[in-house]
Amino acid sequence: MATFQNLLLQLEDNGILTISINRADKLNALNSTTILELQQAIQEVYDDTTIKGVIITGVGAKAFVAGADIAEIAELSEVNARSFAERGQEVFSMIERCNKPVIAAVNGFALGGGCELAMACHMRIASENAKFGQPEVNLGLIPGYGGTQRLTQLIGKGKAMELMMTADMLSAPEALALGLANHVVAQEELLPKCHEILTKILAKAPLAIGMVIDCVNAVYAKDENGYQTEANSFARCCTSEDFVEGTNAFLEKRKANFKGI
């Protein structure tokens, strides 16, 4: 496992990799080094077959990620602001498109780029103290790492408009009620809950899990016919050894032992 300046990585024997954003003194704000390191860490997730699933969280009990680093943003010109946004969008799309499950363990403030990072993950588990929001208009800005798109996809147009225009923060129960958070648990239960969910997923057929991710993402891909993607993926599953194993295990009344092939 590579080592990073602003990320802590911990890979367990069960294949669960925890990536912790590690700038607690700045509430884990995403500066350019952190974005670059996140990209490198996610590339490792794509490449390393021993990694089966990922948890992304923030160091400390106060913040998941309190946004992009405002000190860096303050220096942006128009040209580098566009590439700044595109770069973050690219890294967050890598997370969204990863064919291994990625869970955000939202352990505190998830604001601006932090909310966008959590939304790029496949699901969000929040601690009771978590707060979600897109407060960029307070800075004369808008979300730039995919927030206008993913927040609207997740909570609907009216509420997304309200949150992005008022800069209001959502409490964890409010995020749960809107479908932005999948579950809310006590802070000490946050990582165990993420492990519980990932362990359940990792016992399923990995190819099928990857295809669920692809097909759900296809709903939002404007140039893709999601029904076609689904039919193609369904057909591909039927050519896999895991499909034979899964159906045989059911008929033989035993637990399936999937291999991801």
Site map (CB under 6 A) of ligand COA, residues 114-133, x = contact: --------------------
Told to check if 111 binds ligand COA by CB under 6 A, we report: yes
Told to check if 170 binds ligand COA by CB under 6 A, we report: no
- Tracing tokens 């296809």 back to the chain, one arrives at 218
> Taking the complex as a whole, how short is the minimal distance between the CB of residue 88 and ligand COA, in angstroms?
11
Q: Give the whole-angstrom CA distance, residue 17 versus residue 123.
A: 16
Task: Kindly indicate which of the ranges 64-72, 118-126, 174-182, 218-226 contains the residues binding ligand COA, using the contact rule CB under 6 A.
Answer: 64-72
| Exposure on the CB side of residue 181, measured as CA atoms within 13 A | 28
**Other CB atoms within 10 Å distance of the CB of residue 59:** 19
For ligand COA, the closer CB: 70 or 176: 70
Q: How far is residue 164 CA from its own chain's centroid?
A: 20
Task: Kindly indicate which of the ranges 11-19, 65-73, 120-128, 184-192 contains the residues binding ligand COA, using the contact rule CB under 6 A.
Answer: 65-73
- Number of helices and strands (H, E) in the chain? 11, 10
Q: Give the whole-angstrom CA distance, residue 93 versus residue 95.
A: 5
**Other CB atoms within 10 Å distance of the CB of residue 30:** 27
> Taking the complex as a whole, how short is the minimal distance between the CB of residue 5 and ligand COA, in angstroms?
16
For ligand COA, the closer CB: 136 or 214: 136
> Taking the complex as a whole, how short is the minimal distance between the CB of residue 73 and ligand COA, in angstroms?
6
